[in-house]
Structure 1
Amino acid sequence: MAHDDDDDASQGDDLNELLRRLLGGGTDGGQLDPELLSRLSGMNIDPATLQQMMTQMQAAFAGGEEATWEMASRQALQIAGQSDLAVSSAQRSDLDQAFSLANLWLGEATTVPELAQPGGAITRARWVELTLPVWRELAEPVSGSIADAMTAALVEQTGEEFGEVAQGAGRLMRTVGGSLFATQLGQVVGRLSMEVVSGGDVGIPLLPAGHAAILPQNFADFGAGLEIPDDQLALATATRELAHARLFRHAKWLRLDVIAQIGEFARGIRIDVSALEDVASRFDPSSPDELRQLLESGALIPPRSDQQNAALSRLEDVLATVEGWVEVVTADATARLPHADRIAEVVRRRRAVGGPAEKALGSLVGLELRPRRAREAASMWRAITDAVGVAARDALWDYPDLMPTSADIDDPSTLIARLQADAAGTAPEPDEFDDALRQLLAEESGDAPRAAGTDDERDDDPTGTADGGRPV
């Protein structure tokens, strides 16, 4: 028994030394002692495989979290650049003209202010550079879940006798898990750069606020075979892109709300540790295809929880509300184009189906950014426009508590009646006594937010949800 204890202690010392050298670099130029590795054979670890794995990990993960995302950026840029073409002067001129005319047409179709800078043409690589900060923000919660799962698997598989060692390697495991995920995300974003036509093509605000752009190379692929004149297609695409960018630039709270809701969904993701352990048991660092396929297939992400389904439903309603407004405004602005209806239908179908890279992104983060209720939302916006006009319709984006709800998408009649009453000056005045009584009762029960609904609070809360938020 004593002999076994000595062996366990020796093996623990060996693993401690291995981790010390891996994390600290050791004193021998980062090389790991093969004899040290061979002594770990009693743990059912192949020394040659472990040597290769640790060497790769040490080189790849030495830079920490920032280096991990730099790796993702390089991966995405490499894929985007493989077939990327520079924007020609003719392409840039044609799209500049399309954006200029689209801007004038939008002035007739919406009261949402125009952008401070005009839209323009960008390359695939430039799209990657501009959008990666948002991709990182969306992906970090999932990356953290993968890292936590890897740490838990390490603690479980090494046993209690190596608990302290495994816990000490937690930081490394977080880096490893994050790096695996970030690399895969880089590949998906790189492939997505070869599919998206414009900045708002995915439906979420990926470009910096106030930016509108079209990727000429992808635009040419999009128009191939449609038998629609390029100038009409460019005008419709530019109008749609500007409408999307204008809305998110005007309703600053909207961008924060969409990102926050995606983050809420992603934070609820839990990784299937058993699937991860199964792959880890036969993982070959020189052939990472299985792990890549596992990540990309979404097999590590179990079925959604009830909480996630609720978050997804709220997010889909918001995205559909945005998509519906953009569709209606674009249709009104481009009504003079002979092929406007056909172009709108092509865009609608394309958004509904999504491309291969977008589907891979859905598998990777467990979320497909499809505006499933876009048609219903567009019908709502059309009814509102016909009933109260453009100005009253667009005023609904001024504050988050004015934005249409899911119930309004189902049946906008109540919202329209309220807007018409407001316009006619016949809306009932709020009962100040009842409002004060409800506020007092809420404060006594501890349910009321501090200074809810005050102007000062809205100034301090850019999302406009300091009053507890309003379900959308």
Structure 2
Amino acid sequence: MPEDSDDRRPEDELREMLQQFLSGEGPIDPARLAGAAGMPSDPAQLQALMAQLQAALARTEDGIDWSAAKRQAAAVVQRDPGSVTSAEREAVQQAADLAALWLGETTEIGAAAELTMLSRQQWVDATIPVWQEMSEPVANSIANALTRAMQEHAPEEAQEMIAGAEKILRNVGGTMFAMQLGNVVGQLAGETVAGGDFGFPLLEDTAALLPVNLRTAADGLEIPEDQVRIWMAARELAHARLFHHARWLRLHVLSSVREYAEGISIDVERLEELAESFDPSNPEELREALSSGALIPPKSQEQLEALARLETTIALIDGWVDAVTEAATARLPKRDAIAESVRRKRATGGPAEKAFGTLVGLEIRPRRLREAAAFWRAVTDAVGPQVRDSLWDQPDLMPGSDDIDDPSRAIARLQGGSELDEMDLALQELLDDAERGARPAGDAAGGQATGDAAADDAAADDAAADDETADESADGTDDDGSRDGDAAGDDDPPRG
């Protein structure tokens, strides 16, 4: 028996309305909806968008369907998957073998790391879980805030329908965000050369190069391709070796990213403005708000502090990798030119990186990279590579921002110097205070306790000098045993 229309649940009404929109029967133009998801409006991509949003309507689980991101990234890659010849793969492998040999002369850590060659699609499959982890807090915030804004600003006759369909709204909004993320990751697959290109540990215990993108790394540099391959392989292997050695480091970085991302809030006022003025026939405004980062307000003080800690960690990682790569590739005539070119590309980033930064509110480029690399060089010169690398043995040994500013602090610790940290200084001050409190009121310095340890020492020295002078006066001789021809009351010459 057909279900009576009056007995339908509000969420069923909303689902039917959205299905009409998606089929082109409602006021939303599917081609413009594709634009709101950051996708081209060609027929194939449009069909994929409709299918994924229909799947979001049918989902019974609450939350974001991240498989939509993976499918969208794969669709982007398929437009230009690229191809690699067997000769190119062999050349990359030879470069990796030589780079590993040279790295062995520079650092002993993580020697088990080996290099893998990935296609663009393989890179997407391997890294999409980390992109998801970095994006999930923001995606949830946007989906929930969008739902609240629609509830608050919907006409009174639609309130019941929307209130009963929160899960559907979150699913659809979350799917739109996931597809935008997939679009960005698919574009990144066409830009990245190595697994460690973006500062974050995208790959677990693996070094990887993308030969299809490596061939363009030397474009415009007038540098032989074999030198570029060796340098890139050395840098990627160094990055992987560090994470292979410091097993705690990957979790530390990703936890810091999570801490930062979970503090990101959504600009509710801006979202309410969008909800009030939203034109269903023109979703482009919503897409622009998402992709431009306009919904993410300026960072709070807590956000800035979390970001500073994360940036310091990433800078130390990339700085160590750069310093080790520089030493390992000393035999390459064009080493410095390659390093500078890569450094500049990393500093500016490509279009897809900037899109990720605005979408999630997190830039994926390390700051203070040059300073961090200079720090590691200074430490290497002072204590050698083996002692330098011991700073990665456990989290509490890792240098901080102050160490980057002044490498002598870390060098003093590594050399067993007397540098005291803040806790040591506070403890020393307490001990000094206790010692002064236990001292008698009258002493050899003049009968009164001094205000600080330096004054006490000076008073003790004066007392000792007075005793020595008295002894000399008693026997009439100087220290060297000679008779003093002067009167006993004459001043002695200054003592050294």
1:18 CA displacement: 4.1
Match of 1:347 among 342, 346, 364: 342
Asked if the contact 1:81–1:124 (Cα under 8 Å) also holds between the matched residues in 2, the reply is no
Instruction: Name the CA shift for 1:401/1:15 in 2 (closer, same or farther; >3 Å).
Output: farther
Cα pair distance change 1:259/1:213, threshold 3 Å = same
* Greater CA drift, 60-69 or 212-221: 60-69
Paired residues for 1:43-58 under 5 Å: 48-49=26-27, 57-58=53-54
- AA aligned to 1:85 is G
User: Judging changes above 3 Å, is the alpha-carbon distance between structure 1 residues 31 and 360 closer, same or farther for their aligned structure 2 residues?
Assistant: closer
Among 91, 110, 127, the residue aligned to 1:113: 110
Cα offsets for 1:23-69 (capped at 9, x unmatched):
6x89xxx9779xxxxxxxxxxxxx9337989x985444323568721
Give me the whole-angstrom Cα distance separating, in 1, the residues matched to 2:265 and 2:224. Answer: 48
Change (3 A) 1:187 1:287: farther
CA contact (8 A) 1:49 1:284 kept: no
Structure-1 separation of matches of 2:20 and 2:84 = 49
RMSD: 3.2
Q: 1:88 aligns with which of 85, 90, 105?
A: 85
Q: Deviations over 1:356-379 (max 9, x none)?
A: 110111001111122111111111
TM-score, length-scaled by structure 1? 0.77
What does residue 70 of structure 2 align with?
73
**2:94 aligned to 91, 94, 97, which one?**
97
One-letter identity of the residue aligned with 1:187: N
Q: Is 2:224 the counterpart of 1:229?
A: yes
1:334 to partner: Cα distance? 0.3
Alpha-carbon deviations, 1:199-244, whole Å to 9, x = none? 111111111x221111122112221111110000000000000111
Match of 1:334 among 311, 329, 334: 329
Q: How many Å separate the matches in 2 of 1:112 and 1:189? A: 31
| Letter in structure 2 aligned against 1:125 | Q
- Once residues 279 and 228 of structure 1 are traced to their aligned partners in structure 2, the CA distance between those partners, rounded to angstroms, is 51
- Report if aligned partners of 2:194, 2:209 keep a CA contact under 8 Å in 1: yes
Q: Which runs of 5+ in 1 are unaligned?
A: 1-12, 34-46, 439-472
Q: Matches of 2:6 and 2:285 in 1, distance apart? A: 30
Unaligned runs of 5+ in 2: 34-49, 432-496
> Match for residue 307 of structure 1?
302
Deviation of 1:414 after TM superposition, in Å, equals: 1.6
Q: Does 1:397 align with 2:392?
A: yes
Give CA-to-partner distance per residue, 1:109-157, whole Å, 9 cap, x none.
11212235x2132111111111001011111000011012112112211
Amino acid in structure 2 at the alignment position of 1:115: A
Deviation at 1:167, TM superposition (A): 3.9
Q: 1:69·1:179 contact (CA, 8 Å) conserved in 2? A: yes
Higher helix share: 1
User: For residues 15 and 334 of structure 1, what CA distance do their matches in structure 2 show?
Assistant: 74
1:264 to 236, 240, 259: 259
**Secondary structure of 1:120's partner?**
strand
After TM superposition, give the deviation of residue 355 of structure 1 in Å.
Answer: 0.7
Give the match for residue 491 of structure 2. Answer: none
Q: Equivalent residue for 1:202? A: 198
Partner of 1:381: 376
Residue 358 of structure 1 corresponds to which residue in structure 2? 353
Retained in 2: the 8 A contact 1:61–1:68? no
Aligned twin of 1:135: 131
> Comparing 94-103 with 159-168, which one deviates more in the overlay?
159-168
Shift of residue 20 of structure 1?
Answer: 2.9
Give how far 1:280 is off: 4.2
- Which residue identity is paired with 2:244? R
Q: Counterpart of 2:376 in structure 1: which amino acid?
A: W
Q: 1:325·1:377 contact (CA, 8 Å) conserved in 2?
A: yes
Matches of 1:329 and 1:185 in 2, distance apart?
33
Counterpart residue number, 1:419: 414
What SS is found at the alignment partner of 1:218?
A: helix
Output the CA distance in 2 between the equivalents of 1:237 and 1:362. 25
- The percent of aligned pairs where both chains have the same amino acid is 52
Asked if structure 2 preserves the Cα contact closer than 8 Å seen for 1:264 and 1:311, the reply is yes
- CA separation in 1, counterparts of 2:186 and 2:209? 16
Tell me which residue corresponds to 1:152: 148
Alignment check: 8 A CA contact 2:357 2:364 kept: yes
SS of 1:221's partner is coil
Give the aligned length. 400
Give the counterpart of 2:11 among 8, 12, 19. 19
Structure showing greater radius of gyration is 2
Relative distance call for 1:88 and 1:282 in structure 2 (3 A) is farther
* In structure 2, C-alpha distance between the alignment counterparts of 1:360 and 1:145, rounded to whole Å: 18
- Relative to 1, partners in 2 of residues 1:155 and 1:333: Cα closer, same or farther, differing over 3 Å? same
Alpha-carbon distance between aligned partners in 2 of 1:133 and 1:326, rounded to the nearest angstrom: 24
Change (3 A) 1:289 1:90: farther
Distance change >3 Å, CA 282–CA 146, structure 1 → 2: same
The secondary structure found in structure 2 opposite 1:308 is helix
TM-score, normalised with respect to structure 2: 0.74
Q: 1:188 aligns with which of 184, 188, 199?
A: 184
